[in-house]
Amino acid sequence: MSVLVDNAIDVPVTPRMTWRETLRRHPTMILGGTVLTLLILMAIFAPLLTSLDPNALRPPRRLRWPSAEYWFGTDMIGRDIYSRILYGARVSLIVGFGVAICSTLAGLFIGLVAGFNRTGDAVIMRIMDGLMAIPPILLAIALMALTRASIENVIVAITIAEVPRVVRLVRGVVLTLREQPFVEAARASGTRAWVILMRHILPNTMAPLIVQATYICASAIITEAILSFLGAGVPPTVPSWGNIISEGRTLFQVAAYIVVIPGLFLSVTVLAINLVGDGLRDALDPRLARRM
Amino acid sequence: MKAPGSTKLLEVDDLRKHFPIRRGLFSRVSSKVYAVDGISFDIAPGETLGLVGESGCGKSTAGKAILKLTDPTSGRVKLRGVDITDLSPGEMRQYRRELQVIFQDPYSSLNPRMSAGAIVGEPLTNFQIAKGQEVEDRVAALFRRVGLRPEQMRRYPHEFSGGQRQRLGIARALAVNPSLIVGDEPVSALDVSVQAQVINLLMDLQDEYGLSYLFIAHDLAVVEHISHRVAVMYLGKIVELTDRASLFLEPLHPYTEALLSAVPQPEPPKTARKRERIILKGDVPSPINPPSGCRFHTRCPYAFDRCKVEDPAFEEVKPSHWVACHLRGN
């Protein structure tokens, strides 16, 4: 058959490291975790951290550079960038985690079906290969063009673009596990098919799946920013890092801070998530770590 | 439904397993791997049948087809006279209690994320043989029986040595009180001293529970020790089947002769007949395009014209000594 060959995923049989040891070996994970926690707290308590309305217009005070009054300055219509960044973190994190959760759940289900059912596999993988042939950002833009701008639609669009990766991963793991002697042994000792799936196959897919979820989360945050930058993301009334950058783009030479500050937040968030992901990968799946 | 007069525990009749090789756009079957190509034998209660052959000759596939872990292409498998060949997975389930398996690789045959006790207890709960505390007790008894300590139940497979893991595999197979255990090279991954322990354990268990074994192996010394009868496989077919003594003393098939001559002798005989080392030329031919006629003719030192065209029948040339060779048959 002309099915594309997935990277064979090894079943981790090596003993897992303890959390303490993992943290000792990956001090960057503590850093990433701390930064991420701070960002989450910042998003949750945004109303307490600023007294200014992120959408209030103050045309006379437009394009003020960062100062004690406006920490991150104001944009061309006088909105406070600090409070817009705080509220924008909500959009980024909701989209990031939303996509990570949705695409992992959907991908897990579709991947399990593909890995277990030969006919289903042929059909599902053709669709997934087709989806993967389209660059995820283009696909998300196209999907957003079909619907109206809202956070939910952004999550759905990015999920559809990210799902094939998860499906391939899960399917690969299931195909490898299905041939493992311990699965055959379970069959030989009369374990029912769905129990095999739940007890022997699902737990062994979790480690690579959680790791993949962190990468998807980071990539979804970037995709959301790109969509908002292009005006295809969240509605313009909702502050998001992407549309702050977009609005500041034309004024880059006079007010670079409008672009630079949300850009920094974006980079730091993605970096923090990736650091956590790397640590998780080494903790959950040492063999995968060596190959990457 | 018991067949009248059937004293055989397992009967295998002309079992075949061919793997299609699919190529091209529409997955046409371009050729087939004749992994198992018509094997027949039976096993009596309490008997051990050794199945030997080189790697790639179809021994393990035969074992899996008998266990219905893979569906046989054709042929019949009967357990206590009941045909289990065409049963659906659901119907097959009740017969799995009688038919258990021990795998070769003690590392990959145990789920790394389940505790040793859960692994051994799984068949018990599958067949609702025991519940709750009773499962614990029975698993503890099984642990003791195979030479493990019940305290080790909470450990995970990676905390055991190779030999201990294989004991776990044996305990899991024993849990449901089977009548036949298929051992798919159960000792070849272990080192020699541990092999002996595991084989002695298997033989003790046979005495105790009257188990039958289909013992698949490539090590003739091991097979000689444990088997009552031995079947020799070459390229998907059984070429010789007889009791242990006559196979090792007077092999009739040239392939068996060659195999036996390759077994190292700890004490080379001084006075007795000195065995000549028969070295076979070439490799095992591919099971995708097996040779015509007798499959062994390409490497057989005695091959003659008839061997190239006519496949020798598997015949009983002496009482209970079956062989497929033109030299021995009619």
In a domain, residue A28? The reply is no
In a domain, residue A170? The reply is yes
Q: Which of A14, A189, A193 sits opposite B123 (nearest CB)?
A: A189
Residues in contact with B323: Cβ distance below 8 Å, sequence separation at least 6, in sequence order: B239, B240, B241, B242, B252, B253, B314, B315, B317, B329
Res B271: pLDDT? 55
| pLDDT tens digit sequence for B101-152 | 999 888 889 988 889 999 999 999 888 888 888 899 999 999 999 999 999 9
- How many Å separate Cα B116 from the centre of its chain? 25
Question: What is the span of the domain harbouring residue A285?
Answer: 96-291
Q: How far is A97 from chain B (nearest CA, A)?
A: 28
Residues of chain B contacting A15 with CB distance shorter than 8 Å = 156, 158-159
Please give the Cα distance from B314 to B325 (Å, whole number).
8
- How many Å separate Cα B43 from the centre of its chain? 11
Q: Chain A contact for B113, CB < 8 A?
A: yes
| pLDDT tens digit sequence for B193-234 | 889 999 999 999 999 999 999 999 988 888 999 999 999 999
Q: Looking at residues A259-278, what average pLDDT do you find?
A: 93
DSSP annotation string for B82-150: EE-TT--HHHHGGGGGTEEEE-S-TTTTS-TTS-HHHHHHHHHHHTTS--THHHHHHHHHHHHHTT--G
In a domain, residue A70? The reply is no
DSSP state at residue A100: H
Distances in whole angstroms, Cα of residue B72 to Cα of each of B15, B17, B64: 7, 5, 9
| pLDDT tens digit sequence for B260-306 | 888 777 776 665 555 677 788 777 788 888 888 888 988 888 888 88
Q: Above 70 in pLDDT, residue A289?
A: no
Please give the Cα distance from A289 to B195 (Å, whole number).
35
In a domain, residue A148? The reply is yes
Res A10: pLDDT? 42
- Whole-prediction pTM value? 0.78
Q: What residue in B sits closest to A189 (Cα-Cα)?
A: B123
Q: Which residues pair with B212 in a beta bridge?
A: B180
In a domain, residue A130? The reply is yes
In this structure, the dihedral spanned by the alpha carbons of residues A104, A105, A107 and A113, taken in order and rounded to 10 degrees, is 150
Q: Do B113 and A203 touch (CB under 8 A)?
A: yes
Q: Chain A contact for B60, CB < 8 A?
A: no
Alpha helix stretches (DSSP H) within A117-190: 118-133, 136-146, 151-178, 181-188
Q: Above 90 in pLDDT, residue A178?
A: no
Sheet holding B212-217, edge to edge: B99-102, B180-184, B212-217, B48-52, B229-234, B237-243, B321-323, B315-318
**For residue B255, which of B307, B319, B216 has the smallest C-alpha distance?**
B307
The H helix count followed by the E strand count for chain A is 13, 0
Give first-to-last CA distance, chain A, whole Å: 28
Question: Considering only residues 220 to 249 of chain B, which have any Cβ-Cβ distance to chain A shorter than 8 Å?
Answer: none
In a domain, residue A91? The reply is no
In a domain, residue A152? The reply is yes
CATH code of residue A237: 1.10.3720.10
Q: Long-range contacts of range B272-281, CB-CB < 8 Å, 24 or more positions apart?
A: B278/B254
Q: Chain B contact for A189, CB < 8 A?
A: yes
Q: Do A192 and B126 touch (CB under 8 A)?
A: yes
* Count of CA atoms in the C-beta half-sphere (13 A) of A42: 19
Number of domains in chain A: 1
Res B270: pLDDT? 63
| pLDDT tens digit sequence for B5-40 | 457 899 999 999 999 888 766 677 778 888 998 899
Q: What residue in B sits closest to A190 (Cα-Cα)?
A: B93
In a domain, residue A43? The reply is no
Q: Above 60 in pLDDT, residue A292?
A: no
Res A71: pLDDT? 83
Q: Above 90 in pLDDT, residue A69?
A: no
Query: From the candidates A13, A126, A182, which should be mutated to test the interface with B, based on the most B CB atoms within 10 A?
Result: A182
Contact A42, A206 (CB under 8 A): no
Residues of chain B contacting A12 with CB distance shorter than 8 Å = 112
Q: Looking at residues B299-327, what average pLDDT do you find?
A: 89
Q: Chain B contact for A168, CB < 8 A?
A: no
Q: Looking at residues B233-245, what average pLDDT do you find?
A: 92
Q: Do B111 and A190 touch (CB under 8 A)?
A: no
Residues in contact with B261: Cβ distance below 8 Å, sequence separation at least 6, in sequence order: B275, B276, B277, B278
Q: Do A191 and B122 touch (CB under 8 A)?
A: yes
Res A39: pLDDT? 94
Q: Do A189 and B25 touch (CB under 8 A)?
A: no
